Amino acid sequence: MAKLNVTQAAKAAGISRTTFYKDIDKKRISFDVDERGNKLFDTSELLRHYPDLKAVDTPKTVQVNKVEQPEHSVDYMEYLMLKKENEMLRRERDIERERREAAEFREESHLRIIEKQTYLLEGSKRDQYPAMPQQPVQELPEPETVTPQAAPKAGGFFGWLLGN
C-alpha cells in the first residue's frame, strides 16, 4: 500500500490536520517514521480508522528502509531480478574464462619446459656416449700369477719404533 505524509493523510480522511494530529496523539492511528523524521501513514491503516477515505494524489515512490524505491509491477521486478542474474552469470563466465586461460598458459609453459629438458637430456647422452666404431673384440692374455714378496724392512725412526 502507499504511504502518505500527514497532509496527504488528513486530506484523504477528509478532516483537518489539527484533528488528524489529535487522532495521532490519542494513538488511534499507527505510523512509520522515515529517515528525515517525517511520519508516514499506510493507506490500509487510514482505511481502518476512516472508512470513507478519498483518493489523493500520492507520490510514485515508496520509502522502505530509508531508501526511496519506485513502485513497479511484478513484471518489472522480475525484469530487474533477471537483469541482476544476467550480470552475475556474465561475471561468473568472465572469471571462468580467466581461469581457463591461466590453466592453458600453465600447460603450455610446462610443455615448453618438458621439451627443453628432453632436448638437453638427449644432447647430453649423445655427448657422453659417442658412437664408437665396431671392432672385433680381442681376447686378453691370461694374467700372470704374482707371488707376494716380503716387504722391505723399514729403516729410520719408524723402523726403530716398530722394532725392525
Higher model confidence: residue 8 or residue 130? 8
Q: Cα-flanking dihedrals φ and ψ of residue 150, to 5°?
A: -70, 145
Residues of the chain above pLDDT 90, percent? 21
Residues 21 and 61 in one domain: yes
Same structural domain, 87 and 123: yes
pLDDT value at 65 more than 90? no
CATH number at residue 34: 1.10.1660
The pLDDT of residue 5 is above 50: yes
> What's the number of domains the chain is made of?
2
Q: What is the domain extent for residue 120?
A: 74-127
- Cβ(31)–Cβ(17) under 8 Å? no
pLDDT at residue 56 is higher than 70: no
DSSP 9-57: HHHHHTS-HHHHHHHHHTT-S--EE-TTS-EEEEHHHHHHH-TTPPP--
pLDDT surpassing 50 at residue 67 = no
| 106 and 61 in a common domain | no
Q: Are residues 42 and 99 in the same domain?
A: no
Element (H, E) at 117: helix 74-128
Is 136 within the bounds of a domain? no
pLDDT at residue 69 tops 60: no
Non-local CB neighbours of 142 within 8 Å, separated by 6+ positions:
none
What mean pLDDT value characterizes the chain?
A: 78
Q: Are residues 67 and 85 in the same domain?
A: no
Q: pLDDT tens for residues 76-122?
A: 888 888 999 999 999 999 999 999 999 999 999 999 999 999 888 88
Q: Does 153 map to a domain? A: no
Q: 130 falls in which pLDDT band (50, 70, 90)?
A: low
Cell reading at 2: 502507499
140 occurs within a structural domain: no
Let me know whether 13 and 34 are in one domain.
yes
pLDDT at position 26: 87
Q: Which three cell numbers stand for residue 46?
A: 487510514
Distances (CA, A) of 68 to 9, 11, 42, 140: 19, 23, 15, 106
Return the H-helix or E-strand segment holding 63.
strand 61-64
Looking at the fold, whether 82 and 95 belong to one and the same domain comes out as yes
**109 domain residue, yes or no:** yes
Q: Is 23 contained in some domain?
A: yes
pTM: 0.34
pLDDT at residue 16 above 80?
Answer: yes
* pLDDT, tens digit (0-9, with 9 covering 90-100), for 32-45: 888 888 888 888 88
The answer to whether residues 67 and 79 belong to one domain is no
